[in-house]
Each structure stands twice: as structure tokens, then as C-alpha cells.
Amino acid sequence: MILVTKTHLPVRKSFEKYVDRIYASNWLTNFGQLEQELTDKLKEFLEVDNLLLTSNGTLAMQVVYKALCLTGEVITTPFSFVATTSSLDWSGLKPIFVDIDINSLNLDSKLIADKITSKTSAILPVHVFGRACQVEEIQKVADANNVKVIYDAAHAFNVRMNNTGESILNFGDVSTLSFHAAKLFHTIEGGAIVSKDGNLIKECRKLINFGITGYDQIDGGGINCKMNEFSAAMGLAVLENIDFIMDGRAKVDDLYRKFLPSELIPLLVNIASNNHSYFPILLKDEEECLTVRDALIANNIMPRRYFYPSLDTLSYVGKQFCPISRNISSRILCLPMYETLLDTQIQQISNIIMSELSL
Ligand SMILES: Cc1ncc(COP(=O)(O)O)c(C=O)c1O
């Protein structure tokens, strides 16, 4: 069975080298030495000033909403994984959807201003599939309206601006990442908060540990979403292989592009690098999408309808309508993408699609 992704498992010895240190220290969580080491290594690798590890990407977002004291409405994209919307709803914030740009599949920055009201406290765009949003344009709208910008950068590990090489995580007030096992860099479950603002990260560090600020000292409310040492150990071992992972995925991407006609591959116009976290194809309509999906499944290949359904159709968000997102969502399919996918498998997947479409 070929799944849409395959978690990168480092060789056992490499993981065990870190696990041995956990056994030696007998320290399993609460800002341990491996958590600290992974924080430092990720800061250096991603070239960011401040980074806080968390137990997952969803709680990373919710902690940020709390730290920024968001209220009322938050403008966001309907074309994403459900956590983007559910994290707002769970935090008592109302998601207000702005439709996506048909080329980038990201929040259309030109449509944001019209949706801002006196209740808007932030904009929450997603760098979907790791492809960068129009960060400069979004910042201009945010500045003009005095609202915060939080990037859901769950897919955007090591994405850099084309002109400067700067990390995409440095834009907006803050970015959050997911290090779930399905992501190209992972810590089994995990996430991170990245910001240029050291004070914001300090506040988040307090919030992820029950509001505790020192021995016998509690300064306000909080929650528990610290990264444990076994997750940090996995992250350190995976990070040792990051070049192999990223290069391998780039090769898979190249091969798909060689075998499949370009009209199936969305343009995803971009201002930053592609980390090859996903390989989406766009079919003519939903019927064609389901036909291709079923043909792949019949051959034990499991693509995923990322992202379906369009989040503006969720019953709990009230009546909102984003036609472009609904249309894209109905006919997009993410093909298997991981660094060890074989050339013959990529050829096989492509052949099935071509034959189903009579191309
Ligand atoms: C866009 C997006 N945001 C948030 C999340 C949530 O991350 P986690 O699964 O680490 O909680 C995901 C997870 O896949 C995601 O794809």
C-alpha cells in the first residue's frame, strides 16, 4: 500500500543515542535538555530569533491567540486543514472566511480589507502546501487596520523568500508550525511558535506550562502543551537527515512533473521556495477527481483530498460562502509524496492517472 505520505523514521541507533540520554538523566518532560537542544538547533537551521516547542501545532495556535489577547473575529482561509478553523472556534473566536486566490490557493490578500470590521482582531492566513502567502500585501492591510497577523505555517518548514533567503516564519507577528508525524520534519506529535518578538515567546512559554513562572510561582492562567523529551529525541534524530528528506522530496516532485501533463499541476505562483511538503493535482471537476482517486485506490495507492471539505461549509461556522475554495476543494487531490517513494512507483501512479484521463 502506498499512502499519501510515509513518516521518516531515522535509523534506530540514531534515535536510541538520544533516548539513552533520557534514561541517563531520568528527565522526561518539562523543558528538558533535549527539548532545549532541539530548540537551539531548529533556531539555527531555520534562521529564526525565537522558537518555542509545543506538544502539537493546534495548541501552538491556541496559545498564540491567548497570548495576543485576540477577541471577536479572525479573518482566515477556508482552504486548509480543519485545525485552522477549529482552533479559532475552540478559543471562542469567530472565523471569518476570505476566499482564496485561484493561482496560489492561499487567502486572497485583495479581499481581506472588505471583511475587516470593528470586531476583527487578527488575520490568520495559511501557507498552504508550504507555498508562501502574499506576506507584504497582508502586512499592509493589517497595519492599516491595526490587527495582528498570525501565520498558520504548519506546512512551511524551511520555506525561504526567493529574493533574500529569509525564513517565511519571520513575517507577521507570529508563525506556528506542526511537527506531526505526517509532516516532512516531525517529532511524532509536536509543533512550534516562532516570532521576532522575544516577549511574546516568553509569554507563550508561560502559557504552555500552566502559567507557572518560577518555583511556587503562578502568574495567570495557562494550559499544558510542552514538548516531551521523547518527541525532542525524535526531532533531533530526524533533523540529522533533513537534507536527505528535502532533496529526496524535490526529486519526487521533479519526476511527477516529468510524467504528468503540466495542466494537472496547479501553478501555485510563488515568492518563496517550495519545500515539497505536498504534491497536489487539480482535476477538471469533482467527478473526474473521484474517478482518479478510485482508480488509484483500486491499485492500493491512497491519495488524499487535501483539503476537503472547504471549511466555509462546516456547520458550526454559520453561513459563509467562498466559491473559489469550494470549487478547488472539490477537485484537488494530493498524490503520495515522501523522500523514499521509488521512481517506478511515481511512474505507476502517473500512468494510472493518465490512463484514467485518457491522456
Ligand atoms: C494547516 C494546518 N494547521 C494546523 C495543523 C495542526 O497541527 P497538529 O496536527 O500538529 O495539531 C495542521 C495539521 O496537519 C495543518 O495541516
Q: What pLDDT does residue 355 have?
A: 97
Q: What pLDDT does residue 267 have?
A: 84
Residue type, 322: C
Choose the residue to mutate in 180, 188, 306 for probing ligand 1, maximizing ligand atoms within 8 Å of C-beta.
180
Q: What pLDDT does residue 115 have?
A: 98
Span from the CA of 106 to the centroid of ligand 1 (angstroms): 16
- pLDDT averaged over the chain? 97
**Residue range 166-184, pLDDT digits in tens:** 999 999 999 999 999 999 9
- 192, 42 contact by CB (below 8 A): yes
Span from the CA of 178 to the centroid of ligand 1 (angstroms): 5
**Residue range 248-298, pLDDT digits in tens:** 999 999 999 999 999 999 988 789 999 999 999 999 999 999 999 999 999
**Residue range 210-236, pLDDT digits in tens:** 999 999 999 999 999 999 999 999 999
Span from the CA of 64 to the centroid of ligand 1 (angstroms): 14
Q: With bands split at pLDDT 50, 70 and 90, how would you rate the model's confidence at 330?
A: very high
| % of residues, the chain, pLDDT over 70 | 100
Q: Say how many Å lie between the first and final Cα of the chain, rounded.
A: 25
Span from the CA of 180 to the centroid of ligand 1 (angstroms): 7
Q: What pLDDT does residue 268 have?
A: 82
Domain spans of the chain, in order of start:
12-239, 242-356
**What would you report as the CA-atom Rg of the chain, rounded to the nearest whole angstrom?**
20
Span from the CA of 59 to the centroid of ligand 1 (angstroms): 10
Say how far apart CA 268 and CA 41 lie, in whole Å. Answer: 30
Q: What pLDDT does residue 225 have?
A: 98
Closest Cα to residue 187, out of 10, 4, 5?
A: 10
Pairing of strands 217-218, 212-214: antiparallel
Q: What pLDDT does residue 333 have?
A: 98
**Residue range 71-110, pLDDT digits in tens:** 999 999 999 999 999 999 999 999 999 999 999 999 999 9
Pairing of strands 120-124, 73-76: parallel
- Give the bridge partners for 54, in sequence order: 191
Closest ligand 1 atom to 126 CA: 1
Task: Report residue 214 CA to chain centroid gap.
Answer: 32
Alpha helix segments (H runs only) across the chain: 12-25, 33-46, 57-67, 83-90, 112-115, 135-145, 198-207, 229-239, 242-259, 286-298, 323-331, 343-356
Q: Specify the residue with its C-alpha closest to ligand 1, atom 7.
A: 57
Q: Specify the residue with its C-alpha closest to ligand 1, atom 16.
A: 81
Span from the CA of 341 to the centroid of ligand 1 (angstroms): 23
**Residue range 139-155, pLDDT digits in tens:** 999 999 999 999 999 99
Q: What pLDDT does residue 219 have?
A: 95
Average pLDDT, integer, range 22-39: 98
Interhelix angle 57-67/83-90, nearest 10 degrees: 40
Per CATH, which fold does 242-356 belong to? Aspartate Aminotransferase, domain 1 (3.90.1150)
| % of residues, the chain, pLDDT over 90 | 98
- What number of H helices and E strands is found in the chain? 12, 11
Q: With bands split at pLDDT 50, 70 and 90, how would you rate the model's confidence at 190?
A: very high
SS3 of 216, please? coil
Buried b (16+ CB within 10 A) or exposed e, 168-197: bbbbbbbbbbbbbbebbbbbbbbbbbbbbe
Q: With bands split at pLDDT 50, 70 and 90, how would you rate the model's confidence at 353?
A: very high
Closest ligand 1 atom to 178 CA: 10
DSSP for residue 120: E
Residue type, 278: Y
Cell numbers 505555517 correspond to what residue? 153
Out of 3.40.50.300, 2.40.50.140, 3.40.50.880, 3.40.640.10, the CATH code matching 12-239 is 3.40.640.10
- Give the bridge partners for 224, in sequence order: 209
pLDDT tops 90 at residue 342: yes
Closest ligand 1 atom to 179 CA: 10
Closest Cα to residue 75, out of 110, 23, 46, 42?
A: 110
**Total residue length of the chain:** 359
- 112, 123 contact by CB (below 8 A): yes
SS3 of 27, please? coil
Site residues for ligand 1, CB cut-off 6 Å: 56-58, 80-81, 83-84, 126, 152, 154-155, 178, 180, 191
Pairing of strands 279-282, 332-335: antiparallel
